[in-house]
Amino acid sequence: MNSLLAAFVSGLIFAVGLGIGGMTQPAKVTAFLDFSSNWDPSLACVMIGAVTMHAVLYRLIRRRSSSLFALAFSVPTRQDIDLRLVGGAALFGIGWGLGGFCPGPAVTSLASGHKSVVLFAAAMIAGMSLYKRLENSGLHHLPISSQDATSRLATPPSPLLQSSQDY
Amino acid sequence: MEHFTPLASLIGGMLIGLSASMLLLFNGKIAGISGIIAGTLSPAKNDTLWRIVFVAGLLVGGFLLRLLSPQTFAIGITRSWSALVVAGLLVGFGTRLGNGCTSGHGVCGLSRFSQRSLLATVTFIATGALTVYIINHLLGGAL
């Protein structure tokens, strides 16, 4: 129960951070991605704030042997570079520039009730499901599969650690 | 740079970093939003409820923002419904193929100095910038 409360508060703070940082405004995201005119570096400030904070706290937290609620840490350890990583990131970037949303802001912005957000988020879920279907029906024959990712988690898979993805 | 909001964005970013650290400290999980969302689609025992609750936190946070400051959700760009559908499909499919999005690779991965995440982040910013360049400067700013 306590761990669920922590997950809820964590999600809430994440959403407020996105909102204050300006990341729920597609115009601000695309203005960051438009280096050629009237560039808005705000998104870089969000990244700097988030990475600085998490880089420090991550190291302090990882000194512990487990998380506070006794769950083992589930942290990705993959270091290989493959086509799926680059190709996936490239496709994501195109969609990001096209729609002005990445997954976190898209879900947070559902609260606004804007039809365009609902449409984007529905398509995003469909894209995730499509990937899942392809993966289940043969994409795992590609060199690096999610099964490999599971075996490369820092901690051995246990009933508490079902995640097969990096993030 | 007329709309540059350095302080608000820095504070917002720090809250995101704090949230990611909380999830790690309390639950031992990495705050990769695309992975958290995708995980709710294929339920696994003991690994689904926290995801749903995290997403609920995002939504409740969104409602708080809407109450306190509705301009948080200003869209500000012109996109057709078909463009939004294509964009959503690419974001959903691409983040799963590449195993992460802005939060997973961009925030959590870079915080761990992961080279995979650095390459992914550089890649999605590059293709995002190229896409926005084409829309804003070759197609007149709307699509």
Sorting pLDDT into bands at 50, 70 and 90, what band is A38? Answer: confident
Q: Pick from B112, B77, B130, B127: which is nearest to A89 by CA?
A: B127
Distance from chain centroid for Cα A152:
19
Q: Which residue has the higher pLDDT, A32 or B1?
A: A32
The ipTM (two decimal places) reads 0.95
Local confidence band at A61 (pLDDT 50, 70, 90 cut-offs): very high
A159 has pLDDT over 50: no
Domain boundaries, chain A: 2-151
Residue A25: band (very low, low, confident or very high) from pLDDT cuts 50, 70, 90: very high
Residue of B77, B78, B80, B110 best to disrupt the A interface, most CBs of A under 10 A: B77
Q: What is the mean pLDDT of chain A?
A: 86
pLDDT at A147 over 80: no
A38 touches B83 (CB < 8 A): no
The yes-or-no verdict on residue A54 having pLDDT over 50 is yes
Please check the confidence at residue A143 and state whether its pLDDT lies above 90.
no
Q: Report CA Rg, chain B.
A: 17
Ranking A57-71, A95-109, B102-116 by mean pLDDT, the lowest is A57-71
Structure tokens, A1: 């129960």
Residues 6+ apart with CB under 8 A from B46: A159, A160, A162
Q: Is A142 on the interface with B (CB under 8 A)?
A: no
Weakly modelled stretches of chain B, pLDDT under 50: none
Q: Provide the shortest C-alpha distance from residue A153 to chain B (in Å).
A: 12
pLDDT tens, B31-49?
999 999 999 998 777 789 9
Per-residue model confidence (pLDDT) at position B106: 94
pLDDT at position A14 is 98
pLDDT band at A140, cuts 50/70/90?
Answer: low
Cα torsion A17, A22, A26, A32: sign: negative
pLDDT, residue A161, reads: 40
Please name the amino acid found at residue A30.
T
pLDDT-based confidence at residue A80 (cuts at 50, 70, 90):
confident
Give the closest residue to A123 by CA, choosing from B110, B79, B31.
B79
Cβ within 8 Å of B, A 59-88 = 61, 64, 66-69, 71-76, 78-81, 84-88
SS3 at position B27 = helix
Cβ neighbours of A160 in B, within 8 Å:
46-47
Q: Is the pLDDT of residue A12 over 70?
A: yes
Q: What are the extents of the domains in chain B?
A: 77-143
pLDDT (0 to 100) of residue A123: 98
Does the global pTM surpass 0.95?
no
